[in-house]
Amino acid sequence: MERVSLTDSEPSEAADGVHLALLAGTESMNVQHFEIEPGAVVEEHSHPHEQTGFICEGEVTFLVDGEAVVCGPGDSYAIPGEQPHAAENRGDETVRGVDIFSPPRENPSWQE
């Protein structure tokens, strides 16, 4: 069994105002904590990983297939592998939540 505390994880800044911290994982999945500051944007991207997540605080707007899907505290979501998607924090509160990726994913960097 692996136990990883958020306080022991070193977050990376994948994009301006978007912080990711890898947590526990296995050969087939891993958990990642995220924080998205007000006004921050995760540009459209896709990846082979299936992605499920849960919002703990704040409200994030996902943009998928031209539609805006708003998720707030207590909401979960699932994004199939290879599906293009983006995310924005359009609110005044930092969004905090967790994502689970299968297969496991390393912290990405969208800053280029």
Which domains does the chain possess? 9-102 (2.60.120.10)
Strand order in the sheet with 85-88: 41-45, 85-88, 60-64, 67-71
- Average pLDDT of the chain? 94
∠ Cα 71 44 65 (to 5°): 65
Is residue 68 helix, strand or coil? strand
pLDDT at 50: 97
What's this model's pTM, rounded to 2 decimal places?
0.92
**Residue 23 C-beta-side C-alpha neighbours within 13 Å:** 15
Averaged over 26-37, what is the pLDDT?
A: 97
Is residue 58 over pLDDT 90? yes
Q: What is the mean pLDDT of residues 75-91?
A: 98
Q: Taking the CB of residue 92, how many other CB atoms lie within 10 A of it? A: 9
Q: How confident is the model at residue 110 (pLDDT cuts 50, 70, 90)?
A: low
Query: Does 109 have pLDDT greater than 90?
Result: no
SS3 (DSSP) at 28: coil
